[in-house]
Structure 1
Amino acid sequence: MSDIKPPFTDIDIQTADEGFYEGYSLPVTLAAKIGFAVLTAWALLMPGAAEHALAWLNTEILSVFNFFYIAVVGVFAWFLLVVALVPASGQLRLGKPDERPEFSTFSWFAMMFGAGLGVGLMVYSTAEPLSLWQTNPQIIQGQVAPLSAEALTSAFRYTFLHYGLHAWSIYVVTGLCLAYYAYTRDMPLTIRTALTPIFGRYMNGALGNVVDVLGVVATILGIAVTIGFGISQLVEGVYSISGAEWLLQAGQNGSPPMPSTVGLIAALIVVMGMSILSAVSGVGRGVKYLSNLNLVLSTVLLLIFVVFGAFGFAMTTYGQALADYVLHFPALSFEAYSTSNELGQWQAGSTTFYWAWWIAFSPFVGLFLARISRGRTIREFVLGAVIMPSLVCFLWMTALGGTAIDLEMSGVAGGAIIDASLTNKLFVTLHYLVSDQLFGWLSVMCVVLILTFLVTSADSGLLVINTIMAGGDEETGVRHRITWGVLLTLVIAALIVAGGGGLFVLQDAMIIGALPFSFVMLAMCVSLTKALYRDHLRSKAEEEQAA
C-alpha cells in the first residue's frame, strides 16, 4: 500500500492580477456575465419569444430527462446515508483532526435552515399539502378520492418526499464534496475542486472553467426562482396589511388575483437592496444575525399554529405520515413515470420541478453549508444537514398544512384556502385561524419573516457566486458583490416581465439550467467515493508504517 500516490491537490485557478477583476477568474466571470446579460436583454426586448422558447425547451427536457432527474436524486439520498453510516468515512472530520466547529449548533442550524428552505417553507407550508390533497399518484390512479380523509396519507407522503431527505441530500452532496477537499486537503472552495479525483490537472483549464460556470448559472437561476416566489408572497402579505390595489392584478382564466408586475418589481428592488447591504457585511455578521432572527420568528409562527391551529389533528397526521414516508422511502427514491401519461405529467410538474429547483439551488446552498460546517464530522454533517432539517420541515408542513386542511375538512374555510393563489394560501389560512386584530399583527410578522428569509437567501447567494468566480477565495471584493446584486436583480426582473408578472418563465429557465449541473453532481459522488477510498488506503498504509 505504500506505493499509493498522494491525492492531486495542485489546483491553480488563473485569476486577474490587477484592474476591476483582480482576484477573479476572467473566463468564469465574463462567461457568466455575458450569458446573463444576453438572457436579460432577450427577455426584455422579446418577452413573448423568450417565454415560448423557454417553455418549449423545458417541455422537451422533461420528456427526455424526467426519469434521470428522479433516479439521480435517489442516488444522492442513498449515497449520503451509506457515507455517513460507514465508520471509516462517517467519523472523518472536515478539517484538522482536533478542529472544532466555528459556529454554535444553533447558529449553524439557523443559517442552514434559512438559506436552504426558508422561502420555500413560507410559500408552500399550506400550499403543498393542500395541492397534494387534491392530486397525487394515488388520486390519479383512482385509489382514493381527492379532498377526502383517505387522501391525507398520500398527500403528506409526497409532501414529505418533496421537503425531506431527498431534498436536503441534494444540498448536502454538493456541500460535503466541497467541504471535504477544502478542509482536509486545503484546496479552493469552488465547484471544480470536487472533481479533481477524477480529472486531476484538467480542472485547472477550460474544463474546470466550464464546471464553475455551470455552478454559477445554476445558482443564479435557483436563487431567481426562490426570490420570485418569495416576493410574490411578500406582495400578497403587504396587500393583506395595506389593501393597496396596485399590488395585485386580475388572474388569468378565472384564477384568483395575483401580484402585479409593478408590485413584484417594487418588492424585488427592496429585497435586493437589503440583500446587497447584508452581503457586503459578510457571512459572519449580516447572514448570521438575519438567520438567527429567521429561526426565532419561524418558531413564533409555528407556535401560533400549535396554539390556535388543529395541533392534535396535525400531530396525529405527522406520526402516521412519517411512518408511511419511511415505509415507502425506497420506492419513492426511484419511482418514475412516463411523461406521456397523466401520472408522468403530474410528476414532471411536481416532483421533477422540485428536484430541478433543489439541484439549481445546490451550488449555492452546498457551498454555503461547506463554509459554515468546518470542524464537523461527515456523520455529523449528514445527520445534521439532512435528517434534522427534514424532521423540522415535516413538522412545519404538518402543523401549517394540516391546519389548513382541517379548516377545509370542517367546512370553516368553505374552499377559500383551496381557491386562493399559491402565495396567498398562508395568509388566508391565518385569516380563518385567528381574530382580525391578531391577524393584522401576524401578517406584519409574516411579512418581516418572508423579507428576512429572502434577504438571507439572496445575500448568501451573492457571497457564494463571488466565491466561485474568485477561485474559491471567501474574501471577495465589495464592488463585485454589489455588481452581481444589481445583475441578479435585472435578470429576475426581466424574466418576470417576460412572463407578464407570472413565475413560469423563471421556473422554465431554472429547470433548463439545472440539468447540466445534475451531471456535475453525479460526477461529484463518483469523485468523493474514489477520494474516500483512496484516503482510507493511505491512512491504513501510514498506520502500518508507524507500527
Structure 2
Amino acid sequence: MAKLKPPLSDLPIKTAESGFYSGFSLDVTVTSKLAVGGLVLWAVAFPDQAGAVLGGLNTFILANFASWYIYLMALFVVVCLALAIWPAAGKLKLGHDDEKPEFDNFSWFSMMFGAGIGVGMLTWAVAEPIYHFRTNPDVILGQATAEGMDNFLNAYKWSYLHWGFSAWSSYAIAGLALGYFTYRRGLPLTIRSSLTPLFGKALSGPLGHLVDIVAVIATILGVAQTLGFGVEQFVAGMSKIGVGAWLVNEEGNASTAGIIVAIIIIMGASTLSALSGVGKGIKWLSNINMGLSIFLLAFLMIFGSTWFGMQALFMGTLNYLISLPEMLFTVYRSDGTEPSAALSGWQGGWTVFYWAWWVAFAPFVGLFLARISRGRTIREFVLGAMIVPSLMCFVWFSFAGGTAIDMELNGLANGAIFGSTDGAKIFTMTGIMLGDVLGWIMAVIIVILLMTYLVTSADSAVLIVNTINAAGDEGPKARPHIIFWGVSLGLVVAALLLVGGLTAIQTAMVIGALPFSVVMVLMCLGLFKAIYRDGLRNRQGVQSVTVDIPAAE
C-alpha cells in the first residue's frame, strides 16, 4: 500500500478584505441574504400564492420524502452507535491526542442540559404527551384506548421517540463532524469543512459556498420554527397575565397585533443580546434561565403528579427503549384505507415534521456541541451528546405531561387542558393547580423563562449564522450584519405566521431542511472515511493530527 499523505489542513475561503462585507464570504453572505429576504418579500407581497405554493410543496414532500426522513434519522442513530463501538474511532479525540477536555464533566453536562432544555420544552412537555394520550399509531391500529390508562405509556413512547436519541444523534453527527475537522485538522469552523474527505480543496469554491448557504437557510428556518412556537406561547402567556385580550383571536391563537408585538419584543432583545457578545448581560440572562428552569421543574416534581411522573419516566423510558428499533424503521404508507391514511397523516404531521426540524437545527446545535467538546474522545462525545440531553428531555416530559394527563384523568382539569391551544396548555395546567393569584404569579415566571429561552435561541442563531458567513471566524462581527439577521429572523417568523400560521413555518422548514439532510448524509460518509484513513496513517507513522495543543490560559 502506498504511503498516505497527511490530511488536508488548509481550506482557504475567500472573504472580502475591506468595505461593508470585510471578513465575510460574499458568495455565502449575499446569496443567503437574498434567499431569506426573497422568502419574506414573497410571503408579504403575495400571501395567498405563498400559502398555496408552500402547502403544495408540503404535500409533495410528505408524499415522496417521508420515508427519506424516517430512514435518515435511523441512519444517524446507527452511525452514532457504530462510532461509539468502533475501537479505532472511539478513542480518537476532538483535538490533539494529548489534549485534555476544555471543560470538566459537570460543566460539560450542564451546558448540554442547557441546550437540551430549550423553548420547545415549555410548549411540548405538556402538549405532546396530552396529544398522544388521545391519539397515536397504537390507538389508530386499535391496540390501545384513546384517553385510557392502557394508552398512558404509549403517549410517552411516541413523545420520547421525537425528543430522545434520534434528535440528539442528528446533533451529534453535525457536532462531531465540525469538532473533528476543526480541532484535529485546523480547518475553518464551518459546515463545508466536514466534507473535505470527500471533495477536498474543491470546497474552497462554489461547491463549498453552496454547502454553507444551505446550512444558513436551514438554520434560519429551523430557528424560525422554534420562535414560531415560542411567539404563540409568549402571546398566550401575556394574555394569561392580563396584558390584553387583543393579543389573541376568537380561536385562542395569537392575533396579528399579538404576533407583531411579540416579534418586536423578542427579536429586539435578541439583537441587542447578540450585539453585546458574551458580556455581563448574556451571562445574567443565562443565570436567570437556569434558575427558573430548575424552579419550574422542581415545582412540577414536588407539587405535580409525582407518581404519574415517576411511572412515565421509568416505565415510559423502558417501553421506549424496547420499541425504539421498530419505531425507527417503520414507515406508514397510505393504501387507500382509512387506518393507513390516518397512520400516514399522523407520521407526516409528527415524526416527519420533527425529523426535518432536528435536521434544520443541526448546524446550530451541532456547532455549539463542537465548541464545548474540544478534547473529548469520540466515544465520550457521542454517548454524552445522545444520552444526557435525552434524559433531561424525558424528565421534563414525564413530570409536566404526567401531571397534565393525571389532572384530566381524575377530572380536576375537566377537559380544560385538552381544550387549550398547545402554547396555552402549561398556563392552563398551572392555573388549575394553583388558583387565580398563585397561578398568575406562576404564569409571570413562565413568561419570563420563555422570554429568556427565546432570546438566547435567537441571538445564538444570529451569531452562528454570522460565523458560517465569515468562513468560520468566531471573532467579533460587524454590527450591521448582526442587526440584519436579527431583523430577518423576526420578519421570517412574522411573515410566515401571518401568511399561514405555524403550518406555513412548518412547511418552509421541512422544505429548507431537505437539502441539508443530504449534506448530513455526506457528513457521515466523510467521518467514516476520515477516521478509517487516519487509522491507516497512524499505522504508517504518518501525522494525522495537524493542530497544536492550545496554550493554557
| TM-score normalised by length of structure 2 | 0.94
Partner of 2:504: 505
Residue 287 of structure 1 and its aligned partner are, at CA, apart by 5.0
Distance of aligned partners of 1:269 and 1:120 in 2 relative to their CA distance in 1, 3 Å threshold: same
Residue 129 of structure 1 and its aligned partner are, at CA, apart by 0.2
In the alignment, the residues of structure 1 paired with residue 511 and residue 116 of structure 2 have an alpha-carbon distance, to the nearest angstrom, of 21
In the alignment, the residues of structure 2 paired with residue 293 and residue 34 of structure 1 have an alpha-carbon distance, to the nearest angstrom, of 36
| Aligned AA (1:391) | L
Partner of 2:454: 454
Residue 422 of structure 1 and its aligned partner are, at CA, apart by 0.8
8 Å contact from structure 2 (residues 222, 509) kept in 1: yes
Secondary structure of the residue aligned to 1:22 is: coil
**Matching of residue 258 in structure 1 with residue 237 in structure 2:** no
Residue pairs, 1:180-219, within 5 angstroms: 180-219=180-219
Partner of 1:317: 312
Residues 371-380 or 413-422, more deviating: 371-380
Partner of 1:281: 276
Residue 127 of structure 1 and its aligned partner are, at CA, apart by 0.3
Partner of 2:533: 534
Residue pairs, 1:389-468, within 5 angstroms: 389-468=389-468
| Aligned AA (1:496) | L
Residues 234-243 or 145-154, more deviating: 234-243
8 Å contact from structure 1 (residues 28, 209) kept in 2: yes
In the alignment, the residues of structure 1 paired with residue 372 and residue 281 of structure 2 have an alpha-carbon distance, to the nearest angstrom, of 14
| Aligned AA (2:191) | I
Distance of aligned partners of 1:116 and 1:305 in 2 relative to their CA distance in 1, 3 Å threshold: closer
Secondary structure of the residue aligned to 2:15 is: coil
8 Å contact from structure 2 (residues 274, 462) kept in 1: yes
In the alignment, the residues of structure 2 paired with residue 180 and residue 143 of structure 1 have an alpha-carbon distance, to the nearest angstrom, of 45
In the alignment, the residues of structure 1 paired with residue 531 and residue 278 of structure 2 have an alpha-carbon distance, to the nearest angstrom, of 29
| Aligned AA (2:98) | D
Secondary structure of the residue aligned to 1:384 is: helix
Residue pairs, 1:344-355, within 5 angstroms: 344-355=344-355
Residue 441 of structure 1 and its aligned partner are, at CA, apart by 1.9
Secondary structure of the residue aligned to 1:503 is: helix
**Percent of matched pairs sharing the same residue:** 49
Partner of 1:254: none
8 Å contact from structure 1 (residues 228, 506) kept in 2: yes
| Aligned AA (2:48) | G
Specify every segment of 5 or more residues in structure 2 that has no aligned partner in the other structure, as ranges.
336-340, 544-553
C-alpha distance after superposition, 1:493-533 (max 9, x if no partner): 2212212xx21111110000001100100110011000011
Distance of aligned partners of 1:105 and 1:248 in 2 relative to their CA distance in 1, 3 Å threshold: farther
8 Å contact from structure 2 (residues 17, 23) kept in 1: yes
C-alpha distance after superposition, 1:232-285 (max 9, x if no partner): 11111111112511111112xxxxx11112112111111111111221232576
Partner of 2:89: 89
Residues 1-10 or 422-431, more deviating: 1-10
Residue pairs, 1:230-245, within 5 angstroms: 230-245=230-245
Secondary structure of the residue aligned to 2:3 is: coil
Residue 2 of structure 1 and its aligned partner are, at CA, apart by 6.5
Residue pairs, 1:461-500, within 5 angstroms: 461-479=461-479, 480-499=481-500
Residue 373 of structure 1 and its aligned partner are, at CA, apart by 2.0
| Aligned AA (2:507) | D
Residues 327-336 or 52-61, more deviating: 327-336
Distance of aligned partners of 1:189 and 1:215 in 2 relative to their CA distance in 1, 3 Å threshold: same
8 Å contact from structure 1 (residues 40, 494) kept in 2: yes
In the alignment, the residues of structure 1 paired with residue 465 and residue 280 of structure 2 have an alpha-carbon distance, to the nearest angstrom, of 18
Residues 509-518 or 104-113, more deviating: 104-113
Residue 28 of structure 1 and its aligned partner are, at CA, apart by 0.6
C-alpha distance after superposition, 1:325-359 (max 9, x if no partner): 11112112211111552211110001010001111
In the alignment, the residues of structure 1 paired with residue 502 and residue 213 of structure 2 have an alpha-carbon distance, to the nearest angstrom, of 24
Residue 432 of structure 1 and its aligned partner are, at CA, apart by 1.6
Distance of aligned partners of 1:221 and 1:478 in 2 relative to their CA distance in 1, 3 Å threshold: same
Residue 299 of structure 1 and its aligned partner are, at CA, apart by 1.2
Distance of aligned partners of 1:286 and 1:111 in 2 relative to their CA distance in 1, 3 Å threshold: farther
Distance of aligned partners of 1:104 and 1:339 in 2 relative to their CA distance in 1, 3 Å threshold: farther
| Aligned AA (1:96) | H
Residue 372 of structure 1 and its aligned partner are, at CA, apart by 2.3
Partner of 2:40: 40
Distance of aligned partners of 1:274 and 1:105 in 2 relative to their CA distance in 1, 3 Å threshold: farther
Residues 74-83 or 288-297, more deviating: 288-297
Specify every segment of 5 or more residues in structure 1 that has no aligned partner in the other structure, as ranges.
252-256
Secondary structure of the residue aligned to 1:258 is: coil
Residue 540 of structure 1 and its aligned partner are, at CA, apart by 2.0
8 Å contact from structure 2 (residues 179, 371) kept in 1: yes
**RMSD across aligned C-alpha pairs, in angstroms?**
1.7
Distance of aligned partners of 1:286 and 1:528 in 2 relative to their CA distance in 1, 3 Å threshold: farther
| TM-score normalised by length of structure 1 | 0.95
C-alpha distance after superposition, 1:363-420 (max 9, x if no partner): 1111122122222222222222210110111111010000000000101101110110
Partner of 1:157: 157
Partner of 1:71: 71
Residue 99 of structure 1 and its aligned partner are, at CA, apart by 2.9
